Structure 1
Amino acid sequence: MSTDLQALFEAFGATVGKPAMSDAEFGETFRNMMSALVRFDYVVAFAYRGKERPIDLYSTFDPKEHIIFVTLYQAGPYLLDPFYHTAHARRTGVFRMRELAPDRFFSSEYYRTYYVQTGLAEEVGFFIAADSDTTIVLSLMRREKTGAFPAAEIALLKQVEPLVAKMARHYWSGLAARFDAQLNTGQQRGKKRGAKATALQPADAVWQDLNLTARETAIVDLVLQGHSSESIGLKLNISTGTVKVHRRNVYRKLGISSQTQLLSIYLKNFGATSEAHASPVSR
């Protein structure tokens, strides 16, 4: 598509003289700017910090879509999302999902049971390092019937990335305080329910009561993210055969025989630890 300069100038003009904007105001400004440059179906913006539940800053989903893209995502699947892991690594720039996904992502149980529900052909994200170890990710999504982003549009998004990053850091400053408030709210609710105090995030507590070793835990996390045994071996600097032995031991300990059952246990335990130690789903 051709660039709509008038729409772009109008969107950028909306920020002139405004020292601050609400989440919705800046989200709409970003959406209008991007609409002048490329074609897309959805926009969603999240803030990530460590393994904490992401903060939903802005999205354009209808209520039904919001359940899939937001509510279900924050219920646990975000920890298996390539975008989350890229944000957690504090990488910055514009990336396509296909660039970030592990080698078996599109055949993983996570993809088949959750991601496929989104009906997306492609997702492209602006990854922006913000304050206090927080990463902002603004995603543009295209449905299957719309198709993937052309190379020319990806190049254009990369060109505009420095401006988007500066604006996002300015209008979405102070996110650390919002994460702290979310964490404190979850801790207070946990105390009211009589939950045991813990220093662990729910993400770290998922496997703690299942008698898995640290190495086994690392391997099953990578399996669920969509890494093959070969990829896991390279990441952990162990042989493929050793990875397969650990996987067999995990399945034996858990009394399961498939990745489907492994994901089910993961989500069940994540839900239990989140209920005890974290704030309710809000995305």
Structure 2
Amino acid sequence: MNTDLEALFRAFAGTIGRPAMADAEFGETFRQMMAALVGFDYVVVFAYRGKERPIALYSTFGSEEHVIFVSLYQAGPYLLDPFYHTARERRTGAFRMRELAPDRFFSSEYYRTYYVQTGLAEEIGFFVTVDQDITIVLSLMRRQETGPFSTTEFELLKRAEPLVASMVRHYWSGLAIRFDAQLHNRPRRSRKSRATSTVGSQADTVWRDLNLTAREASIIDLVLQGHSSESVGLKLAITTGTVKVHRRNVYRKLGISSQTQLLAMYLKNLS
């Protein structure tokens, strides 16, 4: 695909002199700018703060796709997402999903149970840190039939990242008040909405409620994210053998025998 400079300049010109833009308006401007550079199927923008339920700022999904990519994601699976963990680390820049994913991510139960439902071949995210410990991630997605981004396309997007970051910090600042409202307004919501708005805090107690130790919980969290025993050992500075012993103990405590059952139990206790 050739860069459409006229479309790029036209989209950028729409922001000149604008002190503020609504979520949908700026999201559409971002989409138009990126579409002038590369082809893609979907755009979604999430804001993350700590373990709190992420806020969806903009997306281009249809109603059925929105359920999988947004509603279901916000209900708990985001806690196992490589993009979420990168956002929590406050990293900035443009990254491919496969750069950030743990070594066993694409064979993990999370990937088989949730991520394959998206039908994506690849996802590239712009990670922008803003105020109040918030990171905004703007994702460009391609479905399997479209295929992954080429090296040339990815390099072009990386070159555009400084401009994207500058615009995001200008038009999507002050999001802390929305996260605060998401927590403080729970009594006015339905029971289901109240539950999903505090998924992050519930995640801290899931394993404790199931009588796992802090060490066991740390290991199992990493396993569900897609880390191999070797990778878990490196991250926690323990031997691979110790990791495997803890995993066997956890399975025995929970009365399960597979990662499928482990993920099911995790998501059930979140909700």
The bucket for the TM-score relative to the shorter chain is over 0.9
Provide the secondary structure at the position in 2 that maps to 1:53: coil
Deviation at 1:205, TM superposition (A): 1.7
Shift of residue 17 of structure 1?
1.5
Alignment of 1:110-259 (within 5 A): 110-186=110-186, 201-259=201-259
> Equivalent residue for 1:94?
94
Matches for 1:3-14 after TM superposition, within 5 Å: 3-14=3-14
> Deviations for 1:9-60, whole angstroms, at most 9, x for unmatched residues?
1100110111000000000000000000001000000000000000000000
Partner SS for 2:138: strand
Paired AA for residue 65 in structure 1: E
Q: Deviations over 1:51-94 (max 9, x none)?
A: 00000000000000000101110110000000000000000000
Q: Which amino acid aligns with 1:217?
A: A
SS at match of 1:142: strand
Rounded Cα–Cα distance in structure 1 between residues aligned with 2:113 and 2:226:
12
Structure 1 residue 186: deviation in Å? 2.7
Give, in whole Å, the separation in 2 of the partners of 1:108 and 1:255.
Answer: 20
Hey, what does 2:85 align to over in structure 1?
A: 85
The alpha-carbon deviation at position 254 of structure 1 amounts to 0.4
Moved over 2 A (4+): 186-191
Shift of 1:96: 0.1
**Cα offset, 1:236, TM superposition:** 0.3
Residue 107 (structure 2) aligns with: 107
**One-letter code of the match for 1:107?**
S
The residue aligned with 2:65 is 65
- TM-score, structure 1 normalization: 0.91
> Hey, what does 1:277 align to over in structure 2?
none
Moved more, 203-212 or 62-71: 203-212
Letter of the 1:231 partner, please give it: S
Describe the superposition over 1:95-139 as per-residue Cα deviations: whole angstroms up to 9, x where unpaired.
000000000000000000000000000000000001110000000
Q: Residues of 1 paired with 2:253 and 2:190: CA distance?
A: 29
TM-score by length of 2: 0.95
In the alignment, the residues of structure 2 paired with residue 173 and residue 233 of structure 1 have an alpha-carbon distance, to the nearest angstrom, of: 38
**Pairwise CA distance, 1:187:** 6.3
Alpha-carbon distance between aligned partners in 2 of 1:228 and 1:188, rounded to the nearest angstrom: 42
Partner Cα distance (1:77, 1:231) in 2: 21
Distance 2:45 2:221 in 1: 25
Give the aligned residue type for 1:117.
Answer: Q
* SS across alignment from 1:206: helix
CA distance, structure 2, for counterparts of residue 145 and residue 62 of structure 1: 18
SS state at 1:51 partner: coil
Q: How many angstroms apart in 2 are the aligned matches of 1:186 and 1:234?
A: 39
**Which residue does the alignment assign to 1:16?**
16
Distance 1:26 1:208, change over 3 A: same
Question: What fraction of aligned residue pairs are identical, expressed as a percent?
Answer: 77
**How far did residue 183 of structure 1 move?**
1.2
Q: Residue by residue, what CA displacement relative to the aligned partner does 1:128-174 show, whole Å, maximum 9, x if unpaired?
A: 00111000000000000110000011111111100100100110011
RMSD of aligned Cα (Å):
1.6
- SS of alignment partner, residue 250 of structure 1: helix
**CA gap 1:39/1:189 in 2 versus in 1, 3 angstroms:** closer
